[in-house]
Structure 1
Amino acid sequence: MMTLIIDADGCPVRNQAVKMARKFHIKATIVCDINHMIRDNYAEVITVDKGFDSVDFKIVGIMKAGDLVITQDYGLASLVLSKGGYAMDQNGMVYDNDNIEMLLLRRHVSKNIRRSGGKVKGPSKRKREDNLAFEEQLESFLKEKL
């Protein structure tokens, strides 16, 4: 049975993801660090110590093949894919073996530009429509996989 795992640090669609897990009667797990006090009546909440990638390491440690991880982190998504899991971003884009290498390369190039003093345009401000689109994509994904 699939578990929906949410990388909650900075996740703008946590509530929508839990709503879909409840709708499809699947387990939901929220993983965050101690800087975020999250409570949920449906999802299990796991809080880890603050530290570089501590949430990511916990998620990789608890997930199993077939689980779905909601994350904005390309590195975490890559690890999830390598363990046979599914990964989706906050906009409903499914990470897969066809797009993850390009995304990781783009992240690397952007990091190098910032390191050398350059600027890289960030994402545009999130709108209500973005959350609705995520919900639709997640619902479609769950219908297909369950």
Structure 2
Amino acid sequence: MRIFIDGDGSPVKDTTIDVARTYSLDVVIVTSIDHYSLKEYPKNVSFVYVDKGADAADYKIVQLIGESDILVTQDYGLASLVLPKGVRVLHQLGYEYTGENMDGLLEQRYFSAKARKSGGRTKGPKAFTQDDREKFKAKLVTLITE
């Protein structure tokens, strides 16, 4: 079991790394070369850098991830691509993407995009809180220990 992080803009990288270290799991952060960092990370953390492009990180994750791995992402589309591979997918707010909730999430995304194209406005995400971080951490531990 490895934990992959869709790294562009994820607010739970450090939390994920801390939990993974507790359970001796490897973490793979896939991110755009635009987010290259010289920051020191534990030995269980590796980076895969991809070229600029809207879906470059997503395609690389789909290529690398496998059954029994966990993916941390807020991207519904990416989640829908890896669920059939037997991957557990966790949103940064602590809820799990599943086959049961995916259709509704993709439909919601479609209608929001359609509204924006026609000049409508949609709400952005709420600010990420410490409570959100704790919910995420608890769910991540649950996924690892199941």
Are 2:126 and 1:127 aligned?
no
Give the unaligned 5+ runs of structure 1: none
- C-alpha distance in structure 2 between counterparts of 1:136 and 1:65, whole Å: 22
* 1:30 matched residue in structure 2: 29
Partner Cα distance (1:52, 1:137) in 2: 28
TM-score for the superposition, normalised by structure 2: 0.94
- Provide TM-score, normalisation by structure 1: 0.94
Query: Match of 1:17, as an amino acid?
Result: T
Q: Which residue of 2 aligns with 1:118?
A: 120
Q: Which amino acid aligns with 1:36?
A: H
Q: How many residues align?
A: 143
1:83 corresponds to 2:80:
no
Residue 69 of structure 1 corresponds to 71
Equivalent-residue separation in structure 2 for 1:138 and 1:85 (angstroms): 13
- The letter of the residue matching 2:120 is G
Read off the aligned partner of 1:32 and give its amino acid letter.
T
Say whether the 8 Å CA contact 2:94–2:132 is kept in structure 1. no
Letter in 1 for 2:124: G
RMSD: 1.0
Provide the secondary structure at the position in 2 that maps to 1:141: helix
Question: Partners of 2:77 and 2:88 in 1: how far apart?
Answer: 13
Aligned to 1:106: 108
CA distance in 1, matches of 2:69, 2:137: 17
Structure 2 unaligned blocks of 5 or more: none
Q: Equivalent pairs: percent with the same residue?
A: 38
Aligned equivalents of 1:52, 1:94: Cα separation in 2: 23
